[in-house]
Amino acid sequence: MLAGKFDYESIKKAIKSAGGTLSLSTVSGDKLMAMMNGDKNIVLKDAKGNVANISTYDVMQSNGVIHVINQVLLP
């Protein structure tokens, strides 16, 4: 979980601004790396090297944005 409201477009823009790999801090203080896989898919990598694809983007909720991933990532 990340603090903030990150929709698909803002993550994609931040990845491009960061040179292709964006470092994100989770609420527990761990790191996630976000990168593009092709032109449209965002991939997340945890500190142990596990990789997950985001399969559903921008599920808007009152307290944030949910993105569904296809694999469990651990701190």
Domain boundaries, the chain: 8-69
Q: What pLDDT, in 10s, does the model give residues 7-65?
A: 999 999 999 999 999 999 999 999 999 999 998 999 999 999 999 999 999 999 999 99
Residue 74 has a pLDDT of 81
**pTM of this prediction exceeds 0.85:** yes
Annotate 15-56 with DSSP letters as a single string. Answer: HHHTTSEEEEEBTTS-EEEEEEETTTEEEEE-TT--EEEEEE
